[in-house]
A and B are shown apart, each in its own frame.
Chain A
């Protein structure tokens, strides 16, 4: 009975890391309803609760791994007092057992934060914090880089790091422009797998849009209307489509080049036969912060290797 009551130890993060994708999916879902943080940044930060409007936050709690990465990237890390149990980057982020999925208002309040950043609002987190007069900023999963830039600006405004935020955005933009200028994957098709029940992002998702920057075409796009852009594909459809590249976003979860090759019928795929099954990092491919650049550089170099 031990494993009921103690936190199981996952090899390399295992299931926990899957949460990044879960958030992207939840984000896709919530964007449909809320459509917050879309469009350009107009200087207004949609925080709720707290005593006054925009002021410089000095005791921030981040319950969103992406927000944590942004805060540290704009040099506001010193103003962060606690981050949630999934915020594993950067190393100096003060990780705590706080959960962004099942947040406990009392545990959050113990840190006496003046701002809480979350990526979604489970169990009326925002309402609970409002009652305690703690300001909350909701930054749901981005559906495009524009959303990311808005979120960076919002955090810049709340931390007094406007110029760092602008610099970060410019740097990301120029990196992405450079990556997109080559379209190295033009003419290649891909399938990105987030779990072994064959859920996959289409080109209308944030992740799909990143792959599009490389010029890759997505085999899941015929199902673009299903599952808020995250359809669960038929195995036979994937085999029939025969993608040139397979990206595995679930290697922390027991999937590997070998397990993919061993699936019924998958051995005949071009990507499997030619060794073009690529494991990608769950965190950089599942978050929408500054490290999307790292993710794309990784994918680009993997494609370069394949193209020789």
Chain B
């Protein structure tokens, strides 16, 4: 970390030490995360390509305007902002756990890891609610001259362009790709959050058992932290691509 101060002129590649001044495990975690960034990037770019090829795309402010326990109130972006806030908060608790690990303070690591895990679970709960709301929430759609009621799924998109029918406005089916991309990409991100929570839980147990004190360092917490921050990093772009633009 802050120990990465290399004297100018040091022969980094002469052997006997890590030329990047970082352990093998941490370096490989970085390269794994880089490859994972390409996976997410490919998904998001594919979504962008399809969206650019369509004449009409659902307005996120209409699709994502619900909040738990508020019924049909129109609250665009409110719930997803809460989810973003939870993830940022759990990111800062994670980095504080890493920091306590540097100080070899077992109690501190435990405390912040518990907060991080709770944040991850809260995020997953929010996502479960959002998915349920989208899949089960019916919307009137005009299909071949007949009014049908559709939820948002990978095969049905009730958020198409509006048209006049019997004197009032009604939506028509939208591009079918919407649900597939939304559930696919947020699902892949949610799976990362889930696996991050599992990894963090294992780290918490190992901390409690004193494994890292015996080992003399808390580097495993750092590696888990890198993964957890990556999850937050990906959410920045999922938030941007699906909810903001």
Q: Is B a genuine binding partner of A?
A: no
B residues apposed to A, CB below 8 Å: none
Chain A interface residues (CB < 8 Å from chain B): none
